[in-house]
Amino acid sequence: MNQQHYPFSLKPLTYAYDALEPFIGQSTLHFHHDKHLQTYVDNLNKTLAPYPQLHNKTLEELLCNPDDIPADIRTAVQNNGGGVYNHQLYFASMHKSNSVENHPKGEIAAKIAECFGFYDVFKTKWKEAALGQFGSGYAWLVYDNAKLEILKTPNQNIPPIHCKKPLLLIDVWEHAYYLDYQNRRNAYIDSFFSVINWDKVEERFQFYTHQ
C-alpha cells in the first residue's frame, strides 16, 4: 500500500494541529508528530544510509523480511521502521470530528456488525485490548481471512501484515496521551473513538477486500 523507500520523510498531517481538540490537544500532536515521528524517520534513515542494497525497499518490504536485513541493524530497522509505519497509519486514522457520535459506515460498518454484533461490542473489545497492552504498544483492528480481528502489539512491533491487514490502530504509548490525560489511558481511548476517520478505515477495508 505504501511505496515510499529510503530516504524516508515526515509526511505532514492532513489536518490542523488543533483539529482533534478537545479529544487530543495540539501540544500532543506537535510533540507526537513533529518530534517523536520525526525521530523515528531520522533514525531509520541514519540506520539505512550505509546499506545501499536496502535503499529501494519499501517500508513494508523491510519490515516483513527481517532475514534480508543485516544482523547488526536488524533491531534498529524493526524498531525505527515500525515506529514510522505505525505512526503514519495512526495519524492517518484520525480526523476532525464535531461529534462524540462518530460511527463506522459503509462496508466496514456491515463487517463490524457481522463480526462483533453491535458497534458497542466492538468498542468494548477494542478498549479492552488497548487497556490490556502492558506498557507501550498498539491495539489494532485487522482483516484476515474474511474476518475482522482485534489484536495488540508491544513497542513498535507490527502485526504479521502479510496476512493480517491493518485497518485501524491506536497508539497507547504514554507520549500519545500524557499531556492531555496524564496516566488516564482509559479516558484517552474513550476520546479516540470520537476522532477515528472511518472513511479512511473504509478505504483500507475496500482496498483489501476488492483486490
Which is nearer to Fe ion, 54 or 77 (by Cβ)? 77
Name the residue with the smallest CB distance to Fe ion: 171
Q: How far is the first Cα of the chain from the last one, in angstroms, to the nearest whole number?
A: 11
Between 82 and 104, CB nearer to Fe ion: 82
Amino acid, single-letter form, for residue 66: P
Find the shortest distance in angstroms from Cβ 151 to Fe ion: 18
What are the residues binding Fe ion (CB under 5 A)?
171, 173, 176
Instruction: Give 43 or 115: the residue with its C-beta nearer to Fe ion.
Output: 43
Smaller CB separation from Fe ion, 171 or 202? 171
Up-side HSE of residue 42: CA atoms within 13 Å toward CB? 7
**Shortest reach from residue 152's CB to Fe ion, in Å:** 14
CB of 32 to Fe ion, least distance (A): 6
**φ, ψ for residue 2 (rounded to 5)?**
-110, 115
Question: What is d(CA 32, CA 11) in angstroms, rounded to the nearest whole number?
Answer: 13
In angstroms, give the least distance from the CB of 106 to Fe ion: 28
173 within 8 A of 155, measured Cβ to Cβ: no
Say if CB 102 and CB 198 are below 8 A apart. Answer: yes
